[in-house]
Structure 1
Amino acid sequence: MISVMKEYNVQRHYITLHVTGYDKYTGDARRALLNDLKSDLRKRQEKMFQLVKPSSSTTIASYDVSLSMAKSKKAFSDGDLIKRCAIAMGKAMGFNDAALGFEKIPLSHQTVARRVEELSNFVQEKVMNQIQQCVYFSLALDESTNIRDASQLLVFVRSIDSQFNVSEELLGSLPLFTTTKGSDIYEALNSLVSKNGGFQKCSGIVTDCAKSMTGANIGVIAYLKDAGVDCPMFHCIIHQESLSSRCIRLSDVMKHVMRIINFIGSGNKALRHRLFVDFLKDLDTEFSDVSLHSTVSLLSAGKCLHQFFSFRNEILNSLVELNADTEGFKGLLQDVNFLKGLAFLPDITQHLNKLNLSLQGRTQTIVSLYGFIDGFRKKIKSLQSNLQSNILIHFPSCDVISKEIEDNNFCCFVETLDTLIEDFNKRFQDFQHLENNFNVFNAPLTITISEANELCDLQRDQFLLSKATLPITQFWPLLSEENYPNLRRFGLHLLSMFGSTYRCEAAFSAMKSIKSKERNLLNQTSLEACLRLTLTSVDIDTKELASKMQAHPSH
């Protein structure tokens, strides 16, 4: 029926418009004309194909550039600048054909914004598939505010599949429009996780130390427990380590150091600061200035203390030359007890800095993070023993001061290390019930066995014994599902767990660059898209995305 209708329509079209022009041709002449018309149609089709093919390439290029811009935290309007630069370079190098091609790439700020959102949706779909196919996943969440004072809840997911492939990705950036109470955070988190299959596979949740997160009755953890979410929930290991270090950083010595630094280099004392810098330059000291210290950052405290101690004598001489009321500061820098504290503080802070740096980084397992903490506690006990015997090999600044003063006994700081050990033990007691599991994970081939189980077979497996030198994260995937099903799931469970909110903190740092003073009106959808692309490790196939899009001319 359809073919008859088509034939009738074509016949009517021919009779109405073309019968007078083509009926005069008959026989071979008519066949020759028909062949010419067919040839002309093919040429038109080929020309159309040639026009569409470059447009497909320009779409891919548009996606690639937009992805690079998002990863580099650039404004959408920079796309036009990149395009103009590419055209200029092509013309300057004599590649006029390439310059013409660059002109056709759509990179307006509207197009880049749309491309970034499409790329983000592609990544989000991949992440959702990973969660659906994973064996376990854990969550890390933290809340902060952006430059517009709008609260943002960031949720990261760490998933692991049956082949021990681990992935850490941004699950969502959720705006909290009103209050940021535990109930608000719980509602936002529950809605997000429910869209991805719920908490059934969740192996652990880690948060920061805010009351809205960890409160016994009104924190998000309390709401999750009331909702029946049954998994370990921890306070971030890095946060707890940082809080423990404050019992040392907030000493009187640190306060006096900050007073002297502020006197020299801040406020309205610009002339005094310039004179001090010139003074250090004339002496050719190791550092050209003294750093200011942020109370938030342990690393900045260590740098500040190290620099201050390095040219304490130069600071004293500079204060003597200044025509100002500096008698109190000069007295401090000549006081034996202050100098001993000034030497001890950068030494112990240096040890804490090394620990803090070892805890940072992507793909850290909860086992390795707790191992660093446990190792540091043992290290502090060893340092304490050295101090009791006045052995200063691990305290280089104290060793320097001991050669300059008569009262060179540093045993007075043993109590300070006692306080540090007690604080570490108190803050990390939540992990004590997992210590046995951590020990099994770290040494499955050598740990003492009290009862017959899969570990007995494991420790007699000659193949696995020959792999004992492998990194532990590479050893566990070698366990077969057939012979060691329980141990394999045990390894998957531990490797899936977050131990810190480092990814959240890194994301907040990225957010400050993305939603800056110049881009403070960036909407929530674009902000989340840029953040996801900046932080993702998912491979994005721009050709696949471009194949689904209709090509448009440059704009």
Structure 2
Amino acid sequence: MVTFLSTQTQGPSVSSAKPAWPYQRRAIWNDIPAKTLLRSRKVRDLKSQLAAQQSVFTRPNTKGKAATTASYRVSHVLAKHKKSFKDGEVVKEAFIEAADALFGEFKNKTEIVTAIKDMQLSRNTVTRRCEGMAEDVESQLKNDIDACECFSLQFEESTDVVDVAQLCVFIRMVFEDMHAKEELLTILPLKGHTRGVDIFSTFMDFVKKNKLPLFKLISITIDGAPAIVGRTNGFIALCKQSESFPDILNYHCIIHQQALCGKILNMKEVMDVAMKIVCSVRARSLQRRLFRAHLEETGAEHIDLLLHTDVRWLSTGKFLARFTELLPEIKDFLKLSKHTEYAQLEDSQWLLDLSFLTDITEMLNDLNLELQGQDKHVINMISSVNTFKSKLQLLSNRLQRCDLRNFPHMQAELQRQGKNSAQLDGARYEKQVQSILSEFERRFTDFASIEPVASYLCYPFLEDIDVLQKATPGTKGDFWHLLLEQKYPNLRRRAFNLTALFGSTYLCEAAFSHMKIIKSKYRSTMTDDHLMACLRLATSSYCPDYEKLASSSQCQRSH
């Protein structure tokens, strides 16, 4: 009872010593006159205390967002260079090791190393980052497709490392200011057959799912595969029969046609002997080592021979150039090693044929390289082909006169044989050049229909000029986008359509080269979705919005 009374007695005194916060705050402000310097200082002190209290929560969040943004950037670099998802951990380890040496004298070294360790770069995290960035890039592409005036497509099909057929599709969009942009549209796996109907149905499923505006489609460029070009059941035939497609143009890849023209050369006896010799050296490890040692002893410019494969555009020219340059060393090695004797290596006519074939394939390779590349305007590609046809006619005329100024290997071989150009059978080689020229004239008919339009759009104010042999690389419709839509709608539309045309399937070929690195034998179990994401990031010119992606992610530090 006494305790209870004493507690009640002490209660009010305790309460008065620690008044409730509203009463305390009111008492403080009553003691400080309004609109005075003292009150201003008090307000500033209270605000700084509040900011300090809030920073306890915001500072970790800011650091977490910075680490997340950094992880997106590193993941993008890995995808651009076609590296494995788990290489993010290697990058982080290397970064930490480098930090010890780079920032050893820095006062805030500990903070720097801690920030590096906070980056989330585990295998699963990098996988999610690539998926998110691929979706962001795809959304940018969809916005551009909706905004563009028209577009064209290029198709090509190839198999990956586990024999899954992959249909690669690139898009070339043209915008109101007449500039063009080329991007990977999609890569579609074909799990079963690769007939024209299978390709068509797979692509139409993609069109419906992504709501691709096919009414903007101008043309389709193809590689000439039977499943694509079949008259009845080919992909192009089914597209033209479908009501979903507008009236489109279709072209066979210029580079493929140029490569096929080179195969018309009737020089099988030269290639067969050269291939047998090279394979006899390269097929056995011992012979290859001995030959390389022989090249080192003689001080040759090259250290090995090249193999030849028909599926590579530049293979024939590079193979023959290397074989011709190492021909003296090859002869010496065959004699020293007592290989099978090849009488052709001492036959003056065979050696001249080899030199001619080397020279002409180098010219074809130069044209092929000129046609390759991204953002190639179809006018410039046709111009390059027409210029080469004129060059072939010039070569034919010079060979009739035994003029070898364009054939350096033939000139060198004649000098080794102690002969002059007058003793050359020019008609033999002039016939070969004429056969190539005829093949060029026969094959490049797909683009004949657009040559008059292209000539006019290149130089609309000149008459009777063969523009396609004089077009410059800068021809990109810089003039036509200045025309008013209301006054010249048809001319602007023709310029848009011409700018949108693909001349080749180079981008698909390059994408398949990327695919073989991304989905290699070491990553053969990669899913189709991850292959699509990695390939899109590796080939796209779009940059993901790192800040947006980091804001939408859980910004936690690495654990």
TM-score, reference length from structure 2: 0.86
- The 5 Å alignment of 1:431-446 reads 431-446=447-462
Q: Residues 74-473 of structure 1: matches in 2 within 5 Å? A: 74-92=83-101, 93-94=103-104, 95-194=109-208, 195-228=210-243, 229=245, 230-248=247-265, 251-263=268-280, 265-268=281-284, 270-326=285-341, 329=342, 331-403=343-415, 404=417, 406=419, 407-448=423-464, 471-473=474-476
Letter in 2 for 1:502: Y
**Separation (CA, whole Å) in 1 of partners of 2:18 and 2:298:** 104
TM-superposed CA distance for 1:522, in Å, is 1.0
Look up the equivalent residue of 1:185 and give its one-letter code. I
Equivalent residues, number? 511
SS of the residue 1:192 aligns to? helix
Report what 2:55 is aligned to.
Answer: 46
Cα drift, residue 308 of structure 1: 1.8
Partner of residue 481, structure 1: 485
Q: Which 5+ residue runs of structure 1 have no aligned equivalent?
A: 1-20, 450-467
Distance 1:333 1:118, change over 3 A: same
Deviations 1:481-514 (CA, angstroms, capped at 9, x unpaired): 3543322222111111111111111100001111
Rounded to whole Å, the distance in 2 between the matches of 1:281 and 1:388 is: 41
Q: Classify the secondary structure of the residue corresponding to 2:521.
A: coil
Q: Would you say the 8 A contact 1:142–1:207 is kept in 2?
A: yes
Shift of 1:22: 12
Quick one: structure 1 residues 168 and 470, their matched pair in 2 at CA, closer, same or farther if it must change by over 3 Å? closer
Structure 2 CA distance for aligned equivalents of residues 196 and 41 of structure 1 = 52
CA distance 1:447–1:121, change in 2 (3 Å): farther
Structure 1 residue 65 displacement after superposition: 0.8
Give the whole-Å Cα distance in 1 for the aligned partners of 2:533 and 2:51.
44
- Give the 3-state SS of the residue equivalent to 2:373 in structure 1: coil
Q: Which runs of 5+ in 2 are unaligned?
A: 1-10, 29-45, 466-470
Q: Distance in 1 between matches of 2:137 and 2:12?
A: 58
CA distance in 1 between counterparts of 2:12 and 2:553 reads 41
Instruction: Tell me which moved more, 539-548 or 85-94.
Output: 85-94
Point out the structure with max Rg over C-alpha: 2
Supply the AA of the counterpart residue of 1:156: F
* Counterpart contact for 2:380–2:472, Cα < 8 Å: no
Q: Which residue of 1 aligns with 2:550?
A: 546
CA distance in 2: counterparts of 1:469 and 1:438, whole angstroms: 13
User: What is the SS of the residue equivalent to 2:215?
Assistant: coil
290-299 or 415-424: which moved more? 290-299
1:207-235 deviation line (CA, Å, top 9, x unaligned): 11211111111210011011143110111
CA RMSD of aligned residues (A): 2.5
Task: Report the alpha carbon displacement of residue 293 of structure 1 after superposing the two structures with TM.
Answer: 1.7
Per the alignment, in what secondary structure is the counterpart of residue 542 of structure 2? coil
Measured after TM superposition, the shift of residue 448 of structure 1 is 4.9
Deviation digits for residues 390-436 of structure 1, max 9, x if unmatched?
11000111112233255422320122122212221221112111110
The 2-side partners of 1:111 and 1:290 are apart by 45
Q: Which residue of 2 aligns with 1:504?
A: 508
Given candidates 521, 529, 536, the residue that maps to 1:525 is: 529
Return the offset for 1:146. Answer: 0.7
2 CA distance for matches of 1:276 and 1:79? 42
Q: Secondary structure at the match of 1:429?
A: coil
Give CA deviations for 1:331-378 in whole Å, capped at 9, x if unaligned.
101112211211100110011000000010000122111111111111
Rounded to whole Å, the distance in 1 between the matches of 2:411 and 2:231 is: 46
Which is worse superposed, 508-517 or 306-315? 306-315
* Residues in 2 aligned to 1:416 and 1:22: alpha-carbon distance in whole angstroms: 118
Deviations 1:501-536 (A, max 9, x none): 111111000011111111111111111000000000
Displacement of 1:387 in angstroms is 0.8
